[in-house]
């Protein structure tokens, strides 16, 4: 299997899982673990889009640079962090070790061995800004995250509907770029219900029909190639 096909394998598997689980409300959210100084923290993060490069594919989400987590993540640029994404319908789990970068229209903070050039940065910012909905855009312009809610600032549904579109990219709008370095893909056996003549009508027996499978995809940063290995669960 050539490197391109190996690279595409985890990316295609993850994308397929997202599509196959899209009927679940939180199919597009993953858990993101990082360090707050010496304390571990975890956040539920909304996935935005894949950004594909010749040898790797980054995941993205958005964050407000005024938020407390933005300051914490700035201190994690030199750390390897981890995503855990579980898909209930297809019974799959992706654990992804990542290096992060923070991209804003005014800055690009990264510790990547493959930094993104300035023209691509602008393209990514524009694409992700246009992808998020109107209410999310307004929040980047208006609502101060991690601050006490003031009653008079709360908007009714009618106010939200009638609020003007924010066309310009907010100075607070920041993209988190997750650069995968290792992807652990676990596939859990599906429960199988089979009919049994010894039981009354509509009764059935539970029988597992497959074993759990696990694959580890690893990225060699020097050679810029992916490898894959099947391991015991």
Q: What is the pLDDT of residues 160-173, one digit of tens each?
A: 555 555 578 999 99
Residue 90 pLDDT > 90: yes
pLDDT at residue 202 is higher than 90: no
CA pair distance 80, 100, nearest whole angstrom: 8
The residues spanned by each domain of the chain are 3-145+159-231
Cα torsion through 57, 63, 66, 72, rounded to 10:
-60
Query: Pairing relation of β-strands 213-220 and 173-187?
Result: antiparallel
Closest CA to 218 of 228, 209, 210, 208: 228
Its CATH class, for the domain covering 3-145+159-231, is mainly beta
Query: Residue 193: pLDDT above 70?
Result: no
Lowest mean pLDDT across 18-27, 113-122, 144-153: 144-153
Q: Enter the pTM of the model.
A: 0.84
pLDDT digits (tens, 9 = 90+) for 4-52: 445 678 999 999 999 999 999 899 999 999 999 889 999 999 999 999 9
Q: Is residue 156 very low, low, confident or very high in pLDDT (cuts 50, 70, 90)?
A: low
């Amino acid at each position: 299997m050539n490197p391109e096909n190996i690279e595409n394998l985890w990316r295609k598997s993850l994308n397929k899982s997202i599509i196959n689980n899209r009927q679940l409300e939180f199919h597009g959210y993953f858990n993101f673990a990082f360090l707050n100084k010496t304390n571990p923290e975890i956040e539920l993060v909304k996935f935005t889009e894949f950004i594909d490069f010749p040898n790797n594919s980054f995941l993205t989400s958005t964050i407000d640079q005024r938020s407390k987590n933005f300051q914490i993540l700035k201190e994690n640029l030199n750390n390897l962090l981890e995503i855990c994404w579980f898909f209930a319908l297809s019974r799959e789990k992706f654990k992804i070790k990542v290096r992060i970068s923070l991209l804003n229209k005014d800055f690009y903070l990264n510790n990547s061995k493959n930094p993104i050039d300035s023209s691509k940065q602008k393209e990514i910012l524009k694409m992700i800004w246009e992808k998020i909905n109107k209410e999310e855009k307004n929040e980047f312009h208006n609502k101060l995250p991690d601050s006490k809610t003031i009653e008079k600032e709360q908007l009714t549904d009618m106010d939200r509907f009638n609020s003007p579109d924010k066309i310009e990219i907010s100075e607070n709008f920041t993209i988190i770029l997750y650069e995968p370095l290792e992807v652990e893909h676990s596939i859990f056996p599906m429960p199988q219900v089979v009919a049994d003549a010894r039981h009354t009508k509509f009764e059935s027996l539970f029988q597992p029909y497959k074993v759990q499978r696990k694959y580890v995809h690893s990225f060699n940063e020097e050679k810029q190639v992916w490898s894959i290995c099947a391991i015991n669960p």
